[in-house]
Structure 1
Amino acid sequence: MFVSAHESGHRTTMDRWLGGLIVATVTMLAFVGYSAYQQLHAPSTPGPKGPLAKLLNPPTPLEKAATRGLMAKETGDGKVLYDLCFPQEKQRLDLTPAKISQIYRDLVLPRFAMFKKVGEPDVSINSSHDQAFASQKYMDAQGHTIDMDCNPFYAPGGGYDDPMQGLSEAWILEYQVAKGIPGTTRSWYAAQAQGLRHDRAYLERLGVNGLVDMKGNMDSWDRLLVAYDTIAATGRPPSEGSNKKSKARKNR
């Protein structure tokens, strides 16, 4: 086929233009792909810490309540801890700020005095912003550690926690953590059973005859001891074992 010089020159120019366009396109795609790869695999940049983090992300009211409650547990401030109690807990245990202060002064804080604070409190809030968490780590000379916690749920004007759980923390500290016993479900409840037996008479003299859960249900010391002993022995609460026996009888 005959091709004129004019056509040949035109095609050469067109071929060069197309070739340049292809090279430019490939180069652009390669650059975009490489940039995406860099963004995907680049190490994450840590956010601000310390005072700057607090300035940019000030604590929520519930986080402030958690911090205030933790400080009250560390000092035995019965007024603040009383305000954190659920209404049913105050009523059914006949609690007063003075009683709570006395319980912390005589039963909780002397046990935590066996350990020393480590670092600063850790304060956070869950994604739904209906519960905050404040935790302070304590350590003894042997390196055993335990946390003192305040984890209030949201309530209008503040938050509700269960300060009486400080007793459980103190019992676990003395009868499990300080003894170097590994933390398991059984050892936690065995420690609480020992602590309750040791402190029961004192608590009853104050008129405190059990614990109230966050649903307002009260368990007497007798009932709690049965539960603690059963879980320490079997790893299961009494009701779970009873349900299994009932099901076994039904299946016969």
Structure 2
Amino acid sequence: VPIGIDPNGENINKGCGTTATDLLQSTTVAHGCDIGIGLDGDADRVLICDERGTIVDGDQIMGLLAQRWDAEGKLQGGGVVATVMSNLGLERYLKKLGLELVRTPVGDRYVVEEMCNNNYNLGGEQSGHIIIRDYSTTGDGLIGALQVLAVLVDGNRVASDICQVFDPVPQVLGNVKLDKKSPLDPERLKNIVAEGNIAIGKNNRLLVRESGTEPTMRVMVEGDDIENIKIVLAKTVAAIEAAKKLR
């Protein structure tokens, strides 16, 4: 059942693809499809929709393929390469399998660099960049989708049974607009992050990073206690806002 295949030069990714999945989900369910496959405009990203309409993101896809390849002796490097934004649930899942999650800065080019330098053959991003170095050194949504289909066919099971391989740890996100001319004091920012890490406790994550595309500080807090991470996010964002005024 093809959807989103009528380009007019202006509607790339509009209401379809990997960033707008409502049409993919509803069509998959309405037509009784076994699986839905969503590609972005240049097909370097892929997300999967199971037969129930649930989205399977890049983290889940990497977890699924890592488990299968490790069992078959095909996984290289003893782990998976992903960015700092990949869910803590993926890291915990891989650890249970005896595998490592190697994190890089945000951007698939950093993932590829780490994979090439240390001989990993599986990596990607939560957003759907899936890099399978056996076939390509860049994200390829079609190759990623075919690998997922192979798991389904070989296991003779429905997508909802096998594609959600781990329970995601709750994540909350926030942004603080910055003045390009007056960056934050690094030492002050370091202290803010240190205080936030104490507040969320061990085995949780606080990530504060400057956007590579706009003057914005991005804040991500991840942990099992959803109410606590919301509080930590609010306090961290407020502290960064206050630090802007003290420059």
- Bigger share in strand: 2
Q: TM-score by structure 2 length?
A: 0.24
Greater radius of gyration (CA)? 1
- Bigger share in helix: 1
